[in-house]
Structure 1
Amino acid sequence: MRRVIALILAVLLLPALPFAEANANLIDVGVVETEDGRFMHASFTSSSTMVTVTKTGNLSEHFWGSGELITQWSIELNVTVNSATVDSTGLQVAVAHNGGVFVVNTQSRTITGNYNSTGSVDEVLWDSEGDMWFGYHGGERRAKEFESGVPTGEATLAHNTALTSMTIISEDRIVTSGRDNLVKVFSQEGVLETSLSDFNSYPTKVINDGNGNIIVGCTNGDLFRYDFDDWSMEETSVSSSQSIISITMDDSGEILVGTQNGKLHLINSTTFTEEEVYSASGRVIFGTYGNSGELYIISTFSTSSKIRLYDLDSDGDGVTDSVDAFPTDSTQYEDEDGDGYGDNPQGNTPDAFPEDVTQWDDTDGDGYGDNPDGNDSDAFPTNSEQWVDSDGDGYGDNMNKEGGDRYPDDSTQWADSDFDGFGDNKDGTEGDDCPDQNGFSTIDRTGCKDTDGDGYSDPSDDWSVADGADFSINDDSQWSDTDGDGYGDNLQGNDPDACPLEWGNSTSAYIPEIASDGSLELNFVVTEKFGCIDTDGDGFYDFADDLPEDSRDYIDSDGDSVGASQDYNDSNRLVQTVFDHCELIVTDVTETCQGVRDADYQNYVTDKEAKGETAKQYFAWVKSQEEAEAEESSSDQYLSTAKEIAPFLGGGFAAIVAVLLIYAAIGSARRRKALVKTYGVPFVPDGENSAEAEALGGKAGLSGSGGVDSDKYWDDDVAPMEMDNSNDEAEIDSGFDDIDIKGDMDVSESTGVMEESASLEELAGLPAQTTATEVSQVNEAPAQQAPPEAPPLPAEGLPDGWTMDQWKWYGAEWLAKQGK
Structure 2
Amino acid sequence: MPRPSKVSTEPDSVRPSALTNNNYVLYINSDGGVIYYSVEAGVHTEMWNTSLSVIVKCVRIDSNAQWLAVGHSSGALLISMSDQSISENISTITAVTSIDFDIDGDLWIGHSAEPRRAVEYRGNTTTAVETDQHFGGVKDLKVLSDGTVITAGNDKKIYIFDPDTLTTQSLTESNSIETMVFSDNEVYMFLTTSSGEVVRYFTSNWTATTLQVGGTTTRLTYSALSGNNSELYTGSNSFQKVWVIDPIAMTISEEIDATGTTIGAIRGERGELYVISAMNPNSLVRLFDIDSDEDGIVDSQDKFPYDSTQTSDDDGDGHGDNAGGNDGDHFPDNPTQWYDADGDGWGDNPNGTDYDAFPDNDQQHADSDGDGYGDNQSGQGADEFPDDVTQWIDTDNDGRGDNVNGTNGDSCPMVNGFSSKDRYGCPDYDGDGWSDPDVNWSFNYVQCTAEELNCADAFPNERTQWSDRDGDGYGDNGTGIQGDSCWTTHGNSTKIVERIVNSDGSTTWTTTAAYGCVDSDGDGYADYGDDFHEDATEFVDMDYDGIGHNRDYNDSNIAIQTFEQHCLINLDDDQGDCLAIRDVEYQEYRNTTTAAGDDPLGYTYWRTEQQGSETGADSKSTFDSAIEDVLTYGGFGFVGLTAAILLVSGIITMLRKRKAAKAFGNIKGFDPREAMEELTAEESGEAFTASGGVTDQEMWEDDIPDIELGSGDDADIVAEDEDGKELVDLGDDTKTLAEDASLEEMAGSISDTSEAAALEVPEDDDDSDDGEATKLEAQPTAQAPPEAPPLPASGLPDGWTEEQWRWYGAQWLKDNEGN
Give 1 or 2: higher helix fraction: 1
What range describes the TM-score normalised by the shorter chain of this pair?
A: 0.3 to 0.5
Task: Choose 1 or 2 for highest CA Rg.
Answer: 2
TM-score if structure 1 supplies the norm length?
A: 0.34
TM-score if structure 2 supplies the norm length?
A: 0.34
